[in-house]
Structure 1
């Protein structure tokens, strides 16, 4: 059975009765169910006895145990509680301690009512987001991706095929693709599957070494060959004999150095800077660039003969935006890696957060995604990454709002709630007439006999342009006129039944269309059948 429709519950913990009353009035008028506790001990007891509030608003300084201690005790009972701490003492220590122990946020006294309402709405939205993370399933076996290259998309399958074709040979390989796509991982994968895997592998970033030093880095130098050359130095090509050298960003290499690289590829020999001895080297070269080498050849910025020597086999690594279907697997792999290295505690990601990651265009490709996952896993307060944990620019770019769609608009004039203990409290204004029915989105009850929805009731006439907001508006009004009180449950069931019918009972495909997991779909179908 689906859970009964009810308001989100807020637990207010404060030893000041006036603050409990004021906050209760303000938030209760917005449709939230209010529970109160006069001490940290009482609040802990309520949570231990089964109260599962969507939000806890709690003072930091109270008689008895403090808000920080209460937070820790509550989190030991329910690790996923969203807790907002209240304080009149905004010290650095307070802020650091609050966030260190997993508070969703903290607010300063005296309160601005609009700010409290906004934070409450966002925290409850995050709680709802967290519930969706319970459906998260492990997507990859970490041990299957030792090379660190994750992806089952057609674009990546083509990359793997070419790696398999060239790995066992000594052919020179040119890896191209945008910055951050993982070109070095491809080079390492070729090396690990090659006949030279027992030999050395070294990577050189040609763009990071000044032109006057790169020859010494690659080929070595003799003592006294230039100022500062106090000893003989063995270069990377000699060090890498019978192994593989990866020349990253080769498009940034100076023309003079390109000439010497060409000699290595043609003759298999080098000379140290300042030396006269010809030294034979047996090295496989894999080069990479994010530049258009063909265009550089036309503009005489890259040697044509070197280009052809490098471009024996070419592997183009697709940009992340070209293989978005791989993002869930990549995120899962990255989370497992962070947990293995003990760099973060988050092991899963909510549905909404994952949808946001998939929708983002990723100009920085996999490298940018890795940074975002690391950031989000570190700031996550529990074991799940929520939308609120993602960097603001990611959420803003995707166009998602942190607050739930059903959150009421803030009152036009700010008011103050109990600024400090013992001070007079201003009564909150009477709620607007519709406030009694405005509440955060809640789980819908099962509908044993849903009223059929006819297309004509919700779709604009053919002569009118179809607008989704208009459809939603007409649908809502139609159902309210029928005095339906379980709109979400009704629409959810109708959509699920239509998806199942469209796919001929294929639950995996229906779940994909609906944007939910197959487990969630199965639960709903079981509930409808009970």
Structure 2
């Protein structure tokens, strides 16, 4: 990807000269470079001859409209993000082109904050896409450096995505239930990035009151509040040159979300009680167990912050969706806690492994880890047996032994199980689920609506 003068370059396509000038002036103020084209034909020729980070194009133009121009640009450069501008009367046209692979669309009159956000996401998206292609085409001397354990299909896909995303500067949002190992994913992103020699700083946003969280993140000046006896650097400054992991980002207040958004956009901050503006170079990785898309709809999470964080989403599957990995995890935890507690463990009985493999693990990997540690501490002899496991696991196994497992009765039922399972694996992300299933988002939505109607009957 070529960046002239080190700046990302946007191709602005619009047959109205005044509108092109206005857009170009605005985007240049944001530190970008702009090239203008007055119709689709000129735009296609420009893409043939030069490299751009994004294309911002009107749909309705006199010569070669945006639909045809997009189709030709897509054929030449599939990875080039195209953002469409449309009047309200042509929103349907834009939606159809989005289905064909356009990156985004904006309605006129333009919201400039939304425009800037769309452009930033487009550039980050292209960076990830090109890095993915580079990794796929380049022999790797070293594998992914990670402490994540798993060989199931969903985990191999997650590890594959980490290997593509880690070397980029893209902001990443990690979604997963509590106890699935989101922090390990964040660590893997840092360890396999260009920032690996810099600091990896962690903040649990749910563990601190809002006033304390602000001081923790941004730092404070001496005397800023009662007890502030000296100046303190915040986590953003501590993470300068490295990665900042914001765990449980969904628990932050709207006021804190505004402050976080400013730092993410401007890469600068002020300490609590201070006036000095401090520049920071930090990559943000955030994690949540909440459905932030739903929180945005409810008005409890800012839409602009959500899109700024969700450049790339990585969904960490629940343990019950990767049961094939349980024996690997059990072996790892047995060795870990046997060494820690100075126990001589020669193995684990088949009955014990059967109970561990069949349990649904509502607390995910963290619950499995605790169960194994308890078992090692309470074990008799040199083999880990089911008698050392928590009673909840033993009782659940006794229940499942007397319960028959229903099988899908038709192709329809099999498809339904696959779709709902994929939705769960992706944390309810319909776009990602549709991609994995190989269907359009509209087709997926129609099928989900049908399942909802069945439940209501």
TM-score by length of 1: 0.48
Show the counterpart of 1:53. Answer: none
Stretches of structure 1 lacking an aligned partner (at least 5 in a row): 1-143, 403-466, 468-530
More helix by share: 2
Tell me the CA shift for residue 341 of structure 1: 3.2
- The secondary structure found in structure 1 opposite 2:335 is helix
CA contact (8 A) 1:339 1:346 kept: yes
Alignment match, 1:248: 247
Report the counterpart of residue 331 of structure 2 in structure 1.
Answer: 332
- Per the TM alignment, residue 251 of structure 1 is displaced from its structure 2 partner at its CA by 0.2
Contact 2:144 2:163 in 1 (8 A): no
Deviation at 1:340, TM superposition (A): 3.7
Q: What does residue range 21-36 of structure 1 map to in structure 2 within 5 Å? A: none
Distance 1:398 1:150, change over 3 A: same
Query: CA separation in 2, counterparts of 1:272 and 1:196?
Result: 24
Matched pairs, number: 262
1:391 equivalent in alignment to 2:390:
yes
Greater Rg over alpha carbons, structure: 1
**Residue 178 of structure 2 aligns to a residue in which SS?**
coil
User: Following superposition of structure 1 onto structure 2, how do residues 126-137 of structure 1 map, counting pairs within 5 Å?
Assistant: none
1:168: how far off? 0.5
Offset at residue 276 of structure 1 (A) = 0.8
Tell me the distance in 2 between the aligned counterparts of 1:173 and 1:225: 32
Which residue of 1 is the match for residue 259 of structure 2? 260
Bigger relative contact order (CA 8 A; separation at least 6): 1
What residue is the counterpart of 2:213 in the other structure? 214
Report the counterpart of residue 282 of structure 1 in structure 2. Answer: 281
Q: CA deviation at 1:225?
A: 1.0
Q: Residues 306-321 of structure 1: matches in 2 within 5 Å?
A: 306-321=305-320
CA offset digits 1:399-456 (Å, max 9, x no partner):
1699xxxxxxxxxxxxxxxxxxxxxxxxxxxxxxxxxxxxxxxxxxxxxxxxxxxxxx
* Deviation at residue 334 of structure 1 after TM alignment: 1.1
Q: Write out per-residue CA displacement over residues 126-148 of structure 1, whole angstroms, 9 at most, x where no aligned residue.
A: xxxxxxxxxxxxxxxxxx99733
Contact between 2:341 and 2:377, CA under 8 Å: does it hold in 1?
Answer: no
Q: Distance in 1 between matches of 2:380 and 2:221?
A: 56
1:346 aligns with 2:364: no
> Aligned in 2, Cα 1:343/1:306: closer, same or farther, shift over 3 Å?
farther
SS of the residue corresponding to residue 288 of structure 1 reads strand
* 8 Å contact kept, 2:338–2:376: no
C-alpha distance in 2, partners of 1:146/1:389? 34
* CA distance in structure 2 between the aligned counterparts of 1:290 and 1:390, rounded to whole angstroms: 27
Alignment of 1:75-154 (within 5 A): 147-154=146-153
Deviation at 1:246, TM superposition (A): 0.4
Shift of the 347–292 alpha-carbon distance from structure 1 to 2, 3 Å rule, reads farther
Q: CA deviation at 1:264?
A: 1.3
State whether residues 203 and 247 of structure 1, in contact with CA within 8 Å, keep that contact through their aligned partners in structure 2.
yes
Check whether the contact 2:345–2:384 (CA below 8 A) recurs between aligned residues.
Answer: yes
Is the contact between residue 173 and residue 313 of structure 2 (CA under 8 Å) also seen in structure 1? yes
Deviation at residue 343 of structure 1 after TM alignment: 5.0
| Kept in 2: contact 1:335–1:347 (CA 8 A) | no
How far, CA to CA, are the matches of 2:306 and 2:195 in structure 1?
Answer: 24
Cα RMSD (Å) = 2.2
Partner of 2:192: 193
* Cα deviation, residue 333, structure 1: 1.0
In structure 2, how many angstroms separate the alpha carbons of the residues matched to 1:238 and 1:214?
14
Matching of residue 357 in structure 1 with residue 356 in structure 2: yes
